[in-house]
Chains A and B, each alone.
Chain A
Amino acid sequence: MEIVLAIVVGILYTAGVYLMLRRSILKFIIGLIFMSNATNLLVFLSAGLVSGSPVFVDGEKINAEVMADPLPQALVLTAIVIGLGIVVFTLALKYKFFELTGTDDLDQLKKTDN
């Protein structure tokens, strides 16, 4: 199964990079989302896959062997949230940019002013 998921990661990256290379700013942002999803999945995958055994503990049974690794999950969770922050901010920025300039074309964005 790891191989299938690794291919998914690759496809997500491919889609992300392809979209980021477009001239449309909207597509660029969507590419960013794909990139961040792919990266999250990559980190998650690298910890190893454990199905049906989430990391819940109580006082008695502690058996780390059969449980999923909690650390990458915590990291990815943080990354997802930060990713949301970036995307939302970029979207707002893009919205403002379009309002001011009336273009969605990155090639028009060559100078810092005007």
Chain B
Amino acid sequence: MQYILLLFLISSLAIFILPGWLKKQKALVLSAVQVVAFVYFAARIPEITTAEAKYIFLEWIPALGLNFEFLLDGLTMVFALLVTGIGALIFLYAKAYMKSYEGTDKFYLYLMLFSAAMLGLVLSANLIQLFIFWELTSFLSYFLISFFHEKESARKAAFQSLYITGFGGLAMLAGIILLGSVVDSYSLQDWINGAESIRQSNFYLPGLLLILLGVFTKSAQFPFHFWLPGAMQAPAPVSSYLHSATMVKAGVFLLARLSPVLGGTNEWIYIISLIGVITMLTGSYFAITQTDLKGILAYTTINALGVLVLLLGINTSESIKAAMLFLFIHAFYKATLFMVAGLIEKKTGTRELSKLGGLVKYMPFTFVIALLALLSMAGLPPLLGFLGKELIYEAKVQSPGIASLVLILGVTSNVFMVAVSLFFARKVFLGKPNTFGKTPNEKGAAFLIGPGILVLLSLVLGLFPGNLGTAVIKPALGVVSSEMIDVKLKLWHGFNQVLFLSLLTVFLGVVLYWAMLKKKKLLETWRKVNSVIFSIELDEVFAWVMNKFVQVAQFKTKIVQHGYHRYYILTIFVFTSLLLWFQVFVIRSWEFDLSFSLNPFYISGLAVVILGAAITSAVSRSRIVTIISMGVAGYGISLIFMYYSAIDLAITQILVETLTLVMFMAILQKLPRFAVLSSKRTRLRDFFIALSFGSVMTILAIKAVNVNLNPTISDFFVENSYNKAFGENVVNVILVDFRALDTLGEVTVLTIAATGVFLLLKTKNKKL
């Protein structure tokens, strides 16, 4: 399995170095890679139905408990087949669709990398690893949505989706870590084994909510659904692949994956079902009033995602069976419709419903394909969609607790879907042909192969669904719900409650469609009513929040990064002295075991001189006085060094002090006089800050005298100075022998400083 991922990664990069003749066919090459992967997975279907799931363990950072764990079981199989199978068709379609655009190399790179990330996600059996792939899909989605980055709307939509899915992803990571701490592992198997303790722990609800945030943002659930219509700025292959067939299903995948661990509780059932129902209804309701082809498809996708989430929330074997089947159904018809929409846009130059019409005359094959896909979306026999809708109704009938509500809303939303499907077909393909700039055609076989195959699958599998059920759905079901039930799919269920519901749905849908078509005013009024009732556009709210966030950040930066040097310094000193005082008061004691004495008196006298010099230097308004007082203090310190047995320090200090003074005097004549720049109050404030800092340093110094340093290092130097290094002055020996490399570093610093000074003084000024 890991080699498939590697193959994807390598082939995504390899397109840049393909030889010329092959480079033109790069889409076909990548499509072939997808086919290889598809065959690889399909060939393993018998294994997962009979034997244990295939599991691969690779060490990554074992010290942190992070490992690569790949798992190929029934659930993974469903998604892997979708990712690679639809991927192969998408690349084929992209070859035709992307022909006229610049930068297709980049496009294929992103798309192939996305494919690898998505595959990695569904193969992950370690939750941290899953999170990494999850985030990768978000990033690649960002790059793909903003492929037409010259358009501001595309950039905006890309940012929006990145922020929302990124936010959800981080929440999910927090949830994973929280729940991981309960069983002390991020391995899926450990989670399943410790499911009971996870469900019992106090972290269950917060962890569940955080993970659900990730799921809901990724799978465009209410109230995060609005990023998906925005993402329609992407090229059609992207919408078809990421935003209907695969990436947005990642949330559904995670729900299914974690259902054995977190599922079955009341919290799980009610939260997820509720969000699912709302999303389902929102999606189908708003699909009706859309005017843009891809807009309609985006909202119907939201509807489908709501249905999937709802089914996993209901969490019975029936509902999960329906969900797994619906995954296929939806991927088949929705990917088809997105590809058709892209084709129509390409050939007519518009996606506006009002500008289209009568296309059946120019694009007969497209019409047939689109019609079949739409019928599947509407859930009419004999297509796979009908089967799915029957199963979903069945699951809803059986959903515990809120069955009647779920059922009523489900029928309502399906009525909308039927109406939308019929309306779509009628408006785009039938009716009076509109005049287009150029006559539309359906040249380019690559445009139609993908949709054709998918729609054929919808039809064939709808008529003969048996194998799909036993070979693919059943193993997946076994993974998710642990109890094995027989999956016998068939088209005709006999006369029962569910069939009656289907008939009712279709009837109402057709009535609604008729009304929309005949009463032209109806849709317009509907749109107007919507814009009044739902006057708050969520993506505007999002833009407002982001805008405010930036404003707050600017405001905060203005305060913190004000640009006044002395206030930065002031902040540092105030906080340092506060921390030191805190240390003195709270952690250290006030006891000193030193006695105060003024002996010998000449050192005390020296101290008084240094004090006087320091104060004079600080307050004097004359430059000369300031600098000379500074020199006095420095020479005073060198005398202290001398008295207390530090000959070398004294010599160095005298030399350095002299040099500094000379340097100051040399440039003093070129510098301005001191001006009175600060007010009295400022100076008083600075004085107290300085005094507070100085006094705490005094205490620190007194405390430091009592600290018992470990003398071994000093003893070593003293003992070996004469014997090994042949020097009598230990300090000298340390500097030039024991620690000679440090001294070399010091010399280097001085050299660099000298070079800097030389350059600064020598270079001529440019007039500014």
Contact = CB atoms under 8 A, between A and B. Distances in A.
Given A30-B627, A95-B667, A44 B649 contact: yes
A58 to B, nearest CB: 6
- Chain A at the B interface: SS class: helix
Given A1-B603, A40-B637, A55-B731, A86 B753 contact: yes
Contacts of A44: 641, 644, 646, 649
Contacts of A30: 617, 626-627, 630
B22 interface: no
A67 B607 contact: no
A19 B630 CA distance: 11
A89 B753 contact: yes
Contacts of A3: 592, 594, 596-597, 702
A2 B607 CA distance: 11
A84 B753 CA distance: 9
Contacts, number: 296
A100 B596 CA distance: 52
A50 to B, nearest CB: 5
Interface in B738-768: 739, 742-743, 746, 749-750, 752-754, 756-757, 760-761, 765, 768
B566 interface: yes
B615 A11 contact: yes
A55 B730 contact: yes
Given A8-B611, A55-B729, A77 B648 contact: yes
Contacts of A62: 718-719, 722
Contacts of B731: 55, 70, 73-74, 77
Given A14-B690, A54-B646, A104-B675, A46 B705 contact: yes
Q: What size tier do the contact residues of chain A reach? A: 35 or more
B728 interface: yes
A77 B652 contact: yes
Interface string B620-650: 0001001100100110010011011111110
Nearest to B616: A15
B564 interface: yes
B644 A6 contact: no
B569 interface: yes
Given A26-B623, A78-B746, A104-B672, A21 B614 contact: no
Contact of B714 (A11, A52, A70, A98): A70
Contacts of B634: 33, 37
Contact of A45 (B596, B603, B705, B729): B705
A110 B569 CA distance: 14
A68 B731 CA distance: 10
Contacts of A114: 768
B616 to A, nearest CB: 9
Contacts of A10: 694-695, 697-698, 701
Nearest to A20: B569
Contacts of B587: none
Interface in A79-103: 80-89, 91-96, 98-101
Contact of A21 (B566, B644, B667): B566
Interface stretch (B46-54, B419-427, B520-528, B657-665): B657-665
A51 B600 CA distance: 11
Contacts of B640: 5, 8, 41
Contacts of B670: 95, 98-99
A81 B656 contact: yes
Interface string A32-67: 011001101110111111111111111100101001
B76 to A, nearest CB: 54
Most buried by A among B569, B598, B664, B697: B697
Given A13-B693, A41-B640, A5 B701 contact: yes
Nearest to A71: B714
B671 interface: yes
B563 interface: yes
A68 B645 contact: yes
A88 B753 contact: yes
Contact of B607 (A5, A82, A105): A5
B405 interface: no
A97 B707 CA distance: 44
A2 B645 CA distance: 15
Interface residues of B, number: 103
B717 A15 contact: no
A68 B641 CA distance: 11
B448 to A, nearest CB: 59
Contact of A105 (B663, B677, B689): B677
B717 A70 contact: yes
Contacts of A86: 753
B709 interface: yes
Contacts of A9: 697-698, 701
B630 A33 contact: yes
Contact of A7 (B607, B652, B718): B607
A53 B644 CA distance: 8
B614 A11 contact: yes
B693 A6 contact: no
B270 to A, nearest CB: 57
Contacts of A51: 643-645
B610 interface: yes
A34 B603 contact: no
A7 B640 CA distance: 14
A81 B743 CA distance: 10
Contacts of B729: 55-56
Given A64-B711, A64-B714, A96-B760, A74 B569 contact: no
B713 interface: yes
B165 interface: no
Contact of A1 (B563, B597, B645, B667): B597
Contacts of B649: 44, 73, 76-77, 80
A96 to B, nearest CB: 5
B718 A57 contact: yes
A19 to B, nearest CB: 6
Given A1-B599, A15-B690, A21-B690, A42 B617 contact: no
Given A70-B714, A89-B757, A98-B671, A2 B594 contact: yes
Contacts of B734: 70-71, 74
Contacts of B645: 50-55, 67-68
A12 B714 contact: no
A111 B569 CA distance: 17
B408 interface: no
A12 B596 contact: no
A17 B690 contact: yes
Nearest to B631: A33
Interface string B711-735: 1011101110111000011110011
B573 interface: yes
Contacts of A80: 649, 652-653, 656
A70 B633 CA distance: 24
29 contacts: A1-B598, A4-B607, A5-B701, A6-B705, A12-B610, A12-B633, A14-B690, A18-B687, A19-B617, A26-B623, A27-B626, A34-B614, A37-B634, A42-B701, A44-B641, A45-B701, A46-B701, A46-B707, A52-B645, A57-B721, A57-B728, A76-B646, A78-B735, A80-B656, A84-B660, A87-B663, A95-B667, A100-B765, A104-B672
Interface of A: 1-24, 26-27, 30, 33-34, 37-38, 40-42, 44-59, 62, 64, 67-71, 73-74, 76-78, 80-89, 91-96, 98-101, 104-107, 109-111, 114
Given A13-B690, A22-B686, 12 more contacts: A3-B592, A23-B566, A33-B634, A44-B641, A62-B722, A71-B714, A74-B739, A85-B753, A87-B663, A91-B663, A94-B671, A99-B765
4 closest residue pairs by CB, A with B: A14-B694, A10-B698, A46-B704, A6-B701
